[in-house]
Copies of this chain bind each other. A is one copy, B any other.
């Protein structure tokens, strides 16, 4: 029985188990509110991965009972903590972005201006909804009501990135909407203001040089 290798998804579950023991159902809830924003996975994965961790001796499973209903609770082992620490020692991969709406904007010369505006509006609403969730969770912590307050320094670092990411998507969508709104009906006839391109290039060059504001 060739033991399957551990993936980043495995370690993301292991990381949660390092905080406290979780039942599988609790893990799925946690995926919605935090983990899923940086490492999104389907619910069924959260039922499979912990078994793999057990198989590797990184966690153990206990069947608990709440009334007549049973729940499987996973707990990290000492070996699991060592494996997690070893994983954290590797620098890891940079962000991978899949952005279908951006793809549609990129190919918008094959569609209509109004299609493009609709796509941008969907992006804006996506950003707004995610910002709202971020705000709600953050507000909870400011009120001292968030879970695992001892992990607040780590959570705050991640929340800062995600918050700014959502804001970036929203800002971009609004900026692009203003530009596309001035396009003619057929995007193939659109022209671009050279100063816009220049501004983008300057931002890229500044970031490449690193000093950065």
The copy count of this chain in the complex is 2
User: Is there contact, CB below 8 Å, between A106 and B155?
Assistant: yes
Distance between A166 CB and nearest chain B CB, rounded to angstroms = 6
Known: A106-B15, A106-B155. A208 touches B119 (CB 8 A): no
**Using an 8 Å CB-CB cutoff, how does the interface string of A182-210 with B read, 1 for contact, 0 for none?**
01000110111010111011011111101
Those of A1-47 within 8 Å (CB) of chain B? 8, 11-12, 15, 18, 34-35, 37-40
Residues of A whose CB lies within 8 Å of any CB of B are 8, 11-12, 15, 18, 34-35, 37-40, 81, 84-85, 87-89, 91-112, 115-116, 118-119, 121-124, 126-128, 130-132, 134-135, 138-139, 141-142, 150-172, 174-176, 179-180, 183, 187-188, 190-192, 194, 196-198, 200-201, 203-208, 210, 212
Residue in contact with A89 in the complex, picked from B99, B105, B111, CB distance below 8 Å: B111
A122 contacts B91, C-beta separation under 8 Å: yes
> Given A38-B98, A84-B107, A99-B38, A157 and B179 touching (CB < 8 A)?
yes
- Chain B residues contacting A206 (CB-CB under 8 Å) are 167
User: Which of chain B's residues has its CB closest to A104's CB?
Assistant: B92
Contact assessment for B110 and A84 in the assembled complex, using a CB-CB cutoff below 8 Å: yes
Interface pairs A-B: 4 shortest CB-CB:
A88-B111, A94-B126, A91-B122, A131-B207
Contact between A135 and B205, CB atoms less than 8 A apart: yes
